[in-house]
A and B are shown apart, each in its own frame.
Chain A
Amino acid sequence: MENYLIAMGVSAGIYALMALGLNVIWGMAGLVNLGLVGFFAVGAYTSALLTTKLGLPILLGVVAGAGMGALVGVLVALITARLRGDYLAIVTLGFAEALRVIASNEVWLTNGTDGISGIPGPFRADLGPVGFNLFFLILVAALVTAVFFAFERLSYSPFGRVLRAIRDDDQVAAVAGKWVIAYKVQAFAIGCAALGLAGALYGHYTSYIAPEIFVPLLTLYIKLSLLAGGVGNNRGAVIGAVLVVAFLESTRFIIPLLPGLSAVQGAALREIIVSGALIVLLRFRTQGLVPEAHSHPLIPRQPGAAAKESPTHA
């Protein structure tokens, strides 16, 4: 049981990293990115290929995975510079699917649909399965904490304020003299670096990646995480990710207790519950469980400052 909880902790940590990345792009800058899983795949493939084919150290692979995620993020941001809202969502969704098709067909590089197996994990052989599991949980937890504090700092910096200004109205931000596209590109780069990092970690943890892992279902889980936790809020991103994994996993234990349900019906019910939860959240709690804070975490809001609620974006 402990081993299982630890493994789910690792899953939650990887989801949390992705949710944090999405929060910069979507929560802070207001750019709808449905291609999350594409950047996740870029990080996973980069690190997996560098460590298996070139034999580079895992640390280097992971850093390169995050870097490549950022680079591709910049590229996509530049290509979609003029798109907003639904249009941006469609293009990013298409981008992730295109990447998946490339990964299935460029066999010389990615080994096609067979996927890449035997990706090394840090100290996997020395620690044994249980020890490795625990070590990886500590590693992922440390990384989530680091990224959380970095993004939290970012969020309350002048840079973060500009991103939020762009999210609320990019024309106003432009009139105020901000170079909107440059900010959007940077938001994409930073967010996608976190996504790439998550992907690289995923590959080294499970030791196997294949194009079929990078399907839109995972994007939806992360989106659900951020929606549940609270869009625009790093704490919400982490809490939401943990909640989604706990929710997905706890249904495994609860559904068999329901009388008169076959395994097939149970599996379908799990999917219904997930979709139902999303609908309920969107209807009744768009701001998520932890709404976006309106004042600085350390410096309280000045009395008399405009206390008007800003509209939430969901």
Chain B
Amino acid sequence: MTGSTPLLPRRTALLAGMTALAAPAVSRAQGTSAGAPLRLGILTPLTGAGGFDGPRMLKAMQAVGEEINAAGGLLGRRIEFAVEDDQTNPEGAVRAARKLIDVDKVPVIMGTWASAVTAAVAPVCWESKTFLTTVSGADSITQLPHQGYLIRTQPNNHLQAGKHAEFIAGTGAKKVFVMSLQSPFAMPTQNRVREVLAQKGAQMTGALLYEKDKTSYRSEVDQALRTRPDLIYLNGYTPDVTILLRELYRAGFEGPRFAQSYSVTDKALESLPREVTEKVYTVQPSSDVDSPAFEAAKKRLGTGVDSYEAQATDWISLVALTIAKGREATGTALRENVRKIAQGEGTKVYTAVEGLRLLGEGKEINYEGASGPCDFTEIGDIVDCKFRYQIVENGAFRFLKVA
């Protein structure tokens, strides 16, 4: 039993260490009594692949938080944020989410970005009855059994592909061919495009999947042209779409082509001859740039507002209004009440402060956000979203519309 004596101080040391670890949390997480700050969780990527978008989303949320605090707070309490870094890594993100839920006792976590991170954090949230808001776009996210504890403001793949198909049919194209890069988005996009084109009286004459990093797509181009399409939808990234555009031109295809904005960039236009890129349509999800909510976000942040910042603005606004509506800051109350202020017949409001004032007067409200109308389906997807369309003419983009 000689080993037991040195064990004791070690155990004491461990206990002391744990207490030290807990001390700041205890002092900060003082109860939920009136007057104490109301703590909300933010979990964005501050490092890793999402390190560009995460900090800006964080800033957008903090700006709205300050505005609410300046206007008297929420339920008479100041909003305070518990911020953690998800490291754009599911393993690290789960540990961070545990800290937010178990130590900070937040009713909501806002901000996960990568789909894998969201899918990893979501079970922790719904098991602990914590609400989660995200920008992750993969269709599978909202199909998780999240029991309503999740909403996302990013249009999912289904919605995007549907809108694309509507636009394509609107250009008058009757026969459409889809060429997709092998990715999780490829098949869902093709299926949805086929469906919507058929509804709109057009037809998807064929589709194919291609591998990335090939130096030539000649056989794929031949396969597409064999169906004599009016329009070709190129669903890939810049390297492959650049090659496809060139080879379609060489093969004599003169009809319009349709692609995501991220694949036809300014750089790509510079690198290709004008004839090759003539009449290429591009599309991207857009914030609701004409809405007063977007205008308010721009003023608040003092800069241009991109889609992610607009969505972050909407999360914190939705969360604040929902808490005010239900007069209760819990994940379950958020789940129950979020659709009562996000959609419906109430007075349209465009900022959290405005909404809080009307709620205080006992009025019904319907929050219309900077990213869009913010109406949610049963499973937490947005019902509608604006898209920005452009066309390439003479080697430059011409704005068509936001619709």
Contact = CB atoms under 8 A, between A and B. Distances in A.
Interface of A: 1-5, 7-8, 11, 105, 107, 112-115, 117-118, 129, 206-208, 210-213, 215, 217-218, 246, 248-250, 252-254, 256-257, 263-264, 266-268, 270-271
A4 to B, nearest CB: 3
Contacts, number: 110
Given A1-B102, A7-B102, A253-B21, A114 B95 contact: no
Q: Which of A107, A129, A248, A252 has the most CB of B within 10 A?
A: A252
Interface string B3-35: 000000000000001100110111000000000
Interface in B259-294: none
Interface in B83-131: 83-85, 87, 89-92, 94-96, 98-99, 101-103, 114-117, 119-120, 122-124, 127-128
A2 B105 CA distance: 12
A207 B120 CA distance: 8
Nearest to B126: A129
A314 to B, nearest CB: 25
Nearest 6 Cβ contacts at the A-B interface: A4-B102, A267-B46, A267-B85, A212-B116, A210-B116, A263-B83
A297 B395 CA distance: 76
B89 A215 contact: yes
Contacts of B360: none
Interface residues of B, number: 47
A118 to B, nearest CB: 7
Interface of B: 17-18, 21-22, 24-26, 42, 46-47, 54-55, 58, 83-85, 87, 89-92, 94-96, 98-99, 101-103, 114-117, 119-120, 122-124, 127-128, 138, 140, 144-145, 182-184
A278 B167 CA distance: 54
Given A107-B184, A264-B55, A267-B46, A211 B24 contact: no
22 contacts: A1-B26, A7-B98, A105-B182, A107-B184, A114-B119, A117-B144, A206-B94, A210-B116, A210-B119, A212-B89, A212-B116, A212-B117, A213-B89, A213-B90, A215-B89, A217-B92, A218-B91, A263-B42, A263-B55, A264-B55, A267-B46, A271-B47
B218 to A, nearest CB: 23
A117 B90 contact: no
A71 to B, nearest CB: 24
Q: At the interface, is chain A mostly helix, strand, loop or mixed? A: helix
B157 to A, nearest CB: 11
A252 B82 CA distance: 10
B89 to A, nearest CB: 6
A212 B140 contact: no
A213 B120 contact: yes
A248 B58 contact: no
Contact of B95 (A115, A210, A248): A248
A306 B140 CA distance: 63
B123 A263 contact: no
A195 to B, nearest CB: 15
A250 B16 CA distance: 13
A208 B120 contact: yes
